[in-house]
């Protein structure tokens, strides 16, 4: 990918105040593949003290959405049309990492998946998988 | 429902720091039915300035989860096993309201749905629907 | 709806050999709403003798798809982009009935739901709910 | 896996009359992994003459369910609690092949995925992905 295309992902991400609230950032961008990460902040927890499903979802959805954006023309943004999350284990640890991937690119619909891992004591475990559809919209 | 059962929902909700971060609260609790709401805070937006999908998801998922809790014994909590969201329109406006509903109660699995509305200028429009599975876990 | 529009639904349905294999038919067509039904044939069962999830899915998906077609221009067909099914109970009985409904019409995406009921001894019980996205394609 | 465990999968599959109607069979069984296949029969088509979504779903769901069964005790059967399918392309060709995989085994819930391929002129292309939850039930 061109540096401009990568920058476009980072700029769009930076414009999402929710990502700043969650302390999230983009860690890697490649064609059809984006990795994002966030600490499990004190303000992003559920009733048992683990990371909230809303955090896991937000990170997984965002990685998938930007993965879709890497395969689309520069003139568009993407929005999530639908996405499903299966939560496999509690979000225990210090940090979540999401890896989004394009399964089927398309001008009208882009099918994506995402895996979310929780990192504790330097060990990552898969805590959620997502499968969804991203839709290009004019910027 | 008994005042104790309603209080249990409010206590569990209050223990979720993510809900406080998003400014969310429980508005109504009935058997199999919970309504939650949150303002679209400056820190909960996507790149176009509308409410973030993570906010819509968090609110819809939470209303559905607590709806499930209203039909379960007092000795359990619930966690989301899986949930799918279809986003129908951008989250434009001041406030989101989610209405969670139990479709099929069960001791092992509880099937739920949720509708999320955006309120702008005193008018509510449906912006998302969710369908998922809640699982009881020991408190 | 015009008789022509209703006929169009019946013609498209009749062109699906899978529906004939399953013994399915359209029972009612209204704007944004279609009901289909099928017997639980001896050749459409799972290993415990109940109706197969594939039968329940086929009927629910079809009702939802044709519900979408009722709100689209005459020049298009629809295909399922994605759909999720939650199975609530075994498909016990003689006959399944599916009711598909449009939640959000759209020229690019049409969000739909479907409920599937099993009828036994003249009593219907809800056995599955579906939530999905239909996409118009040129005929 | 023991020959008995593999035989158990084949026996359960053979008891599903829907699989016989669709001409489906199990092609490979390994720990956490099952491959099934079916011809696109004349009686399993949609209105444009391609394989019906109900066929694609049935095959993908079945492969995922039996993949779950390979990691569960011999005393149980599995049923699908929920599953979501994203359809990527029409089911064009002679034959469909589904590969089911266990993502997260569990005594209460088993999270699975499935990929479905269409074979035409000796070439396979991915036409659908599924993500779902299987639940063990007593035999």
Domain boundaries, chain C: 3-138
- What residue in B sits closest to C88 (Cα-Cα)? B104
- The mean pLDDT of B114-134, rounded to a whole number, is 97
- The mean pLDDT of D75-93, rounded to a whole number, is 96
pLDDT digit string, tens, across residues A83-134? 999 999 999 999 999 999 999 999 999 999 999 999 999 899 999 999 999 9
How far off is chain C from B88, nearest CA to CA, in Å? 7
- What residue in A sits closest to B59 (Cα-Cα)? A54
Its CATH class, for the domain covering D3-138, is alpha beta
Q: Say if B135 is an interface residue toward chain C (CB within 8 Å).
A: no
**Nearest CA-CA partner of C101 in C35, C2, C6:** C35
Mutation target vs B (from A9, A18, A43; most B CBs, 10 A cutoff): A18
Q: What is the ipTM of this complex?
A: 0.97
pLDDT digit string, tens, across residues C109-123? 999 999 999 999 989
Token digits of residue D82: 């929920």
DSSP state letter for C68: H
pLDDT digit string, tens, across residues A11-66? 999 999 999 999 999 999 999 999 999 999 999 999 999 999 999 999 999 999 99
pLDDT reported for residue A21: 98
**How many angstroms separate the CA atoms of A74 and D17, rounded?**
51
pLDDT reported for residue C104: 98
How far off is chain B from C49, nearest CA to CA, in Å? 23
pTM for the whole thing?
Answer: 0.97
Residues of D in contact with B85 (CB under 8 A): none
**How many angstroms separate the CA atoms of D69 and D67, rounded?**
5
Residues of D in contact with C61 (CB under 8 A): 53-54, 57
Q: How far is CA A113 from CA A5, A40, D48, in A?
A: 21, 22, 28
The verdict on a CB contact (< 8 Å) between B109 and D81 is: yes
Nearest to D129 among A86, A103, A126 (CB): A103
Rounded to 5°, angle at Cα C110 from C74 and A16 = 140
pLDDT digit string, tens, across residues C86-111? 999 999 999 999 999 999 999 999 99
The verdict on a CB contact (< 8 Å) between A135 and C84 is: no
The verdict on a CB contact (< 8 Å) between D133 and B81 is: yes
pLDDT reported for residue B14: 95
Percent of chain C topping pLDDT 70:
100
pLDDT at residue D1 tops 90: no
Interface size, chain A vs chain D, as Cβ–Cβ contacts under 8 Å: 38
Q: How far is CA C128 from CA A137, C49, C101, D118, D132, in A?
A: 33, 17, 14, 28, 15
Residue B2 CA, distance from chain mean position: 21
The verdict on a CB contact (< 8 Å) between A86 and B87 is: no
For D25, the 3-state DSSP assignment is strand
Mutation target vs B (from C131, C133, C135; most B CBs, 10 A cutoff): C131
The verdict on a CB contact (< 8 Å) between A86 and D111 is: yes
């Amino acid at each position: 990918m061109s540096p401009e295309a990568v920058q476009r992902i980072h700029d769009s991400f930076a414009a999402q105040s929710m990502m700043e609230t969650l302390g999230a950032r983009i860690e890697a961008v490649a064609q059809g593949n984006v990795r994002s990460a966030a600490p499990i902040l004190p303000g992003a927890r559920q009733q048992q003290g683990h990371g909230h499903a809303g955090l896991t979802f937000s990170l997984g959805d965002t990685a998938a959405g930007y993965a879709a954006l890497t395969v689309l023309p520069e003139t568009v943004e993407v929005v999530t049309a639908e996405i499903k999350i299966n939560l496999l284990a509690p979000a225990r640890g210090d940090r979540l990492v999401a890896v989004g991937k394009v399964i089927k690119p398309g001008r009208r619909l882009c099918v994506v998946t995402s895996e979310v891992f929780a990192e504790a004591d330097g060990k990552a475990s898969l805590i959620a998988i997502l499968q969804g559809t991203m839709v290009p919209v004019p910027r």
